[in-house]
Amino acid sequence: MPDASHPHVNADSGHENLGQLTAEIDIHSRPFRTLANEVGKTIVGQEGLIGRMIIALLSGGHLLIEGVPGLAKTTAVACLSKGISTGFQRLQFTPDLLPADLIGTQVYRPQTQEFVVQKGPIFSNLILADEINRAPAKVQSALLEAMQERQVTIGGETFFLEEPFMVMATQNPVEQEGTYPLPEAQMDRFIMKVVVDYPNRDEELQILRRMSKTKATIEVESVTTPAEIMTARSLVDRIHVSSPVEEYIVDLVMATRKPAAYGLDLDDLIQYGASPRATINLTLAAKANAFLQGRAYATPEDVKAIAMDVLRHRVIITYEAEAEEKTAEDIVALILQTVPVP
């Protein structure tokens, strides 16, 4: 059990309080480790994606998953929803989708001669926005209010979405046919962007043996509930973040805006740095990562573990960077190597 003398625990947290919080976290984090194992029964070799989905769930954020078709992105989200006793809606985004198809609309009832609200599929707990970048900008922007404000406006009337509410969106790489790039404002609403790569040879062999059937079923048991998610989130909020760790988080974000101040020659490669929302999300995700490890305090290792996924979609590169074949990931990796770790 960690004690209050640990360098990354706030000095004022108190030994007894820390011990009590650790005991609570140990109990309430177990269902989420079990959830990761349950999803892993179906999904092969995507431990990083599974972990990020659970961190986003615990942080109260939304997740963007990018990868070429056929990498089990949709299946992973479906497995996660099966592991939770809660509402789930899958939305297939297409070029002809309308905002009303997502949030709902007013329908005229001739019998009563009045308009009534017909709620759309967004009114659920877990939302899978499949191939989000195949829909036009109007539909993509219709998600913004729901994702940020946890509410939807239909015909001048506002409806609140039930917690826990989480959007997990999948997208194909923008180089693929029939895709629209997501606006920067919408990208910033996602706590993390996870890039899914091809499985290695051993994993591919395991996929072949497990899934090469005419009817491959998802065998995931329900191991947690919305109430347990909300309890876990309240514990994540109580996880201690010491001043050195807080300063490290701020330095990482500031280095994307003013790289020269951190000895980085990146001014010509970065068009826009990460927003203050990145600072908040990096802290929340680090605390959620600590929670999954059963700890009552966050360390710099927690921050480094999730920093790439929190920052990669928030660093907008210049044309010069593209000409030099530099990506946002390259820039974030260099920042993580350069900024001193406390």
pTM for the full model?
0.87
Structural contact between residues 104 and 154, judged by C-beta atoms closer than 8 angstroms: yes
pLDDT value at position 16? 44
Tens digit of each residue's pLDDT (9 = 90 or more) over 187-239: 888 999 999 888 888 988 988 887 777 776 667 888 888 899 999 999 999 99
What pLDDT digit, counting tens, does each position of 277-300 carry? 999 999 999 999 999 999 999 999
Out of 3.40.50.1970, 1.10.10.60, 1.10.8.80, 1.20.1250.20, the CATH code matching 239-342 is 1.10.8.80
The CA dihedral of 129, 134, 136, 137, to the nearest 10 degrees, is: 60
Cite the beta strand spans of 87-207 per DSSP E: 88-92, 104-109, 114-119, 126-130, 151-154, 157-160, 166-171, 192-195
For residue 188, give the 3-state DSSP assignment.
coil
Question: Alpha-carbon distance 311 to 314, whole Å?
Answer: 5
Could you tell me which residues are beta bridge partners of residue 317? 270
How confident is the model over 19-32, as pLDDT tens digits? 888 899 999 999 99
**Single-letter residue type at 123:** F
Q: Are 19 and 252 in contact (CB under 8 A)?
A: no
What's the rounded mean pLDDT across residues 148-168? Answer: 87
* pLDDT score recorded for residue 11: 43
Mean pLDDT of the chain: 86
At 96, phi and psi to the nearest 5?
-100, 10
Give the residue, 198 or 74, on which the prediction is more confident: 198
Q: Which tokens hold the place of 86? A: 């809660």
Mean pLDDT lowest for which of 45-49, 103-107, 176-180?
176-180
Question: 3-state DSSP: the chain helix, strand, coil percent, rounded to 5?
Answer: 50, 15, 35
Q: What pLDDT, on a 0 to 100 scale, did the predictor assign at position 9?
A: 62
**Least confident span in 6-10, 93-97, 227-231:** 6-10
Is the CB of residue 53 less than 8 Å from the CB of residue 47? no
Q: Which residues contact 110 (CB under 8 A, 6 or more apart)?
A: none
What lies within 8 Å, CB to CB, of 231 at 6+ separation is 28
pLDDT at 233: 94
Mean pLDDT, residues 74-102 taken together: 86
Give pLDDT, residue 8: 62
**What's the confidence (pLDDT) of residue 335?**
94
The predicted structure's pLDDT at residue 171: 85
| Average pLDDT of span 256-266 | 91
**Secondary element (H or E) of residue 272:** strand 270-272
* Domain range annotation of the chain: 239-342
What pLDDT is stored for residue 216 in this prediction? 65
DSSP at 161: P
